[in-house]
Amino acid sequence: MKTEYKIIVDLIEEKTRVLDVGCDDGTLMESLKKDKNVDARGIEISKDKVQTCVSKGLTVIEGNAELDLKQFPNDSFDYVVLGQTLQAFVNPEIVIKELLRVGKKAIITIPNFGHWKVRLNLLIKGTMPITESLPNDWYNTPNIHMCTIKDFVKFSKIINFKIFKSLALTKKNISNIDNSNLFYKNLFAELGIFLIEK
């Protein structure tokens, strides 16, 4: 399993209710059910992936987070997970607010656009960066709102949510992000993982 998923599983307490937004093929939901005895639900936009989830016995609805989070009442989940898709939404602010309305807490992971390879790519080549985790060209990328770890931390102050825990993932190494190391983590982390609250 991806290290990212292992970190998310560790962040989630046992026997809670979790909504996985953009649950893909249900890998994370499966391990949450197995390891943490979680009541897991998913939303997924791809029909094929919804069908894969159903074949795994997972409760998933086909839908789009921007349209379909509305139907869930306030605080209906202990956690809402959004893995590496915040940058693909038209309005990330509304999505974060919806996540924190539906869930008591939210776990958001973001591919870090501040990583040195991305910076170097743009600096040297002068074209939009293409990396392993960001393989698309500028004209066909679904990632319309890329941000850096630093941007995300800044965003928490602008739209007013609390970052409860922030972790950086570099290769397979996990480390905490705090004010003192933000500059370095923003340069070297491939992925930022944030546990947030209202």
Partner 1 sequence: MNIKENIKTLVIKKPLKLDCGKTINNFPLAYETYGSLNKNKDNAILVFHALTGDQFVTGINPVTKKDGWWSYAVGPNKSIDTNKYFVICANVIGGCMGSFGPSHKNPDTNKIYGTDFPVITINDMVNAQVNLLDHFEIKKLFSVVGGSMGGMQVLQFISNYPDKANTVVPIACTSNHSAQNIAFNELGRQAIASDHNWSDGKYLSNNTLPDKGLSVARMAAHITYLSKKGLQEKFGRKLQERDALKFGFDADFQIESYLRYQGSVFVDRFDANSYLYITRAMDYFDLVKQFDGNLSNAFKKTKAKFFVISFTSDWLYPTQENKDIVIALNAIGADVGFVEIKSDKGHDSFLLDVPDFLKTLKNFLDKSYSER
Binding site for partner 1 (CB under 8 A): 17, 47, 50-51, 53-63, 71-73, 76
Rg of the chain in Å (alpha carbons) = 16
62 vs 190 by CB, closer to partner 1: 62
Question: Which residue type occupies 93?
Answer: E
37 vs 173 by CB, closer to partner 1: 37
Start-end of H helices in the chain: 3-11, 27-36, 47-55, 65-68, 92-102, 116-120, 149-158, 182-188
User: From the CB of 53, what's the least distance to partner 1, in Å?
Assistant: 8
68's CB contacts (< 8 A; 6+ apart) are: 43, 61
Neighbours of 151 (CB within 10 A): 18
User: From the CB of 56, what's the least distance to partner 1, in Å?
Assistant: 7
Neighbours of 182 (CB within 10 A): 16
32 vs 149 by CB, closer to partner 1: 32
User: From the CB of 115, what's the least distance to partner 1, in Å?
Assistant: 36
User: From the CB of 68, what's the least distance to partner 1, in Å?
Assistant: 8
Using DSSP bridges, classify how beta strands 191-197 and 59-62 pair: parallel, antiparallel or unpaired: unpaired
User: From the CB of 21, what's the least distance to partner 1, in Å?
Assistant: 13
33 vs 115 by CB, closer to partner 1: 33
33 vs 185 by CB, closer to partner 1: 33
